[in-house]
Chain A
C-alpha cells in the first residue's frame, strides 16, 4: 500500500509525458483558424502566457518598457556581444524579434542575457544578503538585548525553520544541513514574494519557471543521495526483512521513488506559482472581456467591479501560498535528508529476527 502512491505518480507522469508528443494535423489547424476568424473577441491566452513566461524586457504598465541587457557568446568566433534589448534591433548578426534573439545564419550561440527572471533572482539574492548580514551584525552589537528592527522580522522565521523543520526532520546532525535548508526556504520565499509585486522591479514569475525549480530539485537530489548511509541504500535496492522475491520486486519501485521525489518537489512549486499567476492575470483580463477592449465603458466598469475584489482576495491567498510553498519545499527536503541519514541499527535486529 505504501508504494501505491509512487506507482500512481509514476504512471501519471508517464502518461503526461507521452501525451505531449502528439502533434497537430493540418485539417485541425485549418478548422481552428476558421473558428478564430469568426468572432474577433478579446483573447486573453496570449497575454496571460506572455506575462508568465520569461522575457528580455520589463514592461511597466504597457507604456514604458525597461530593456534588459542581452549577453551573447558566439561559439564559432568566440566573441561576446552585449546590447540592450529592443524589438527589431540588429547587432552583429543577432536579431531581436518577438521577444527572442535569433541569429541571421541560424548558427549556435550561448545566450547568457540578463532576462526578467535572472534580474529578479539577482535582486532576491542581493536583498537576502543585505538583510541577513545586517541581522547577523545586529546580533553581535546587541548581545544580550532584546531584538529590534529587522531582527524581530527574521528571528521568528529563522527559529521556526531551525526548530520545527530542520531539527525535527533531520535529527541530531541537522547543523550540517542548516545553511542549505535556510537558503532553500528564504530564496524561494523571496522569489515568490517578488513575483507578487505588480510594478517594476518585481512582477517576474521566477518560481513558476520550470528551469528554476528543476535546478532546485536536482540540488536536493544530489544532497539527499550523496548523504545516504549504507542503510538507506540497502533499504532501496535490497530491503531487509522481506522474502527474496519481494526484494527483487521492490528494488525498481524504490529506485523510481528516488527519482520521483525531487520531480514531485519541482512540479509542486512550479504548478502552484504558475496557477496563482494565471488566475490573477485571467481575472484582470475579465475587465477587458467585459468592456470589449475599450468599446464599452459600462462593461469595463462592471468588469472592474467584479474583477478587482476577486483579485484582492486571490492576492491574499497567493501571499499565503508563497509562504506555504517555501515551507513545504524546505520541509520535504529535510524529511528526505532525515530519511537518508537515519540510523537503522536499533530496529534492523527486529527485521532480521522474524
Chain B
C-alpha cells in the first residue's frame, strides 16, 4: 500500500492531525459542560457555588481524556 518510507516521514504530520482531533473532542465536551452549567444556574441561581465546583471538576476530567491523545501525538512527533 503506502510505502514504509512515506509513512515514517509523514508520522509526525499524522500525529498532529490526531492531536487536532483530540482538541475537537475536548472543545465539544467542555462546550456541552458549559451549556449545561449555565442553563442550570439560570434555572436556580442560588445553587451557583455547587454548580461551579461541579463544572470545574467535570471539565478537568474531560480535558484529561483529551490530553491522553496529546501525549500519544507527542510521542510520535519526534
Contact = CB atoms under 8 A, between A and B. Distances in A.
Interface residues of B, number: 21
A12 B68 contact: yes
Interface in A259-287: 264, 267-268, 270-272, 274-275, 278
Given A19-B72, A32-B9, 20 more contacts: A20-B76, A25-B8, A27-B4, A27-B8, A28-B4, A28-B5, A31-B8, A31-B9, A164-B53, A268-B60, A268-B61, A268-B67, A271-B64, A271-B67, A271-B71, A272-B67, A274-B71, A324-B56, A327-B57, A328-B60
A212 B9 CA distance: 33
Contacts of A271: 64, 67-68, 70-71
Contact of A331 (B5, B57, B63, B70): B57
A146 to B, nearest CB: 23
Interface in B39-78: 53, 56-57, 60-61, 63-65, 67-72, 74-76
Given A27-B5, A31-B9, A32-B9, A20 B75 contact: yes
Contacts of A278: 74
Nearest to B63: A272
Given A25-B5, A328-B57, A328-B61, A16 B68 contact: yes
Interface of A: 9, 12-13, 16, 19-20, 24-25, 27-28, 31-32, 35, 164, 264, 267-268, 270-272, 274-275, 278, 324-325, 327-328, 331
A32 B75 CA distance: 17
Contacts, number: 67
B4 A324 contact: no
Contacts of A268: 60-61, 64, 67
B60 A275 contact: no
Contacts of A20: 75-76
A275 B67 contact: yes
A352 to B, nearest CB: 33
B60 to A, nearest CB: 5
A331 B70 CA distance: 24
A31 B56 contact: no
A275 B69 CA distance: 11
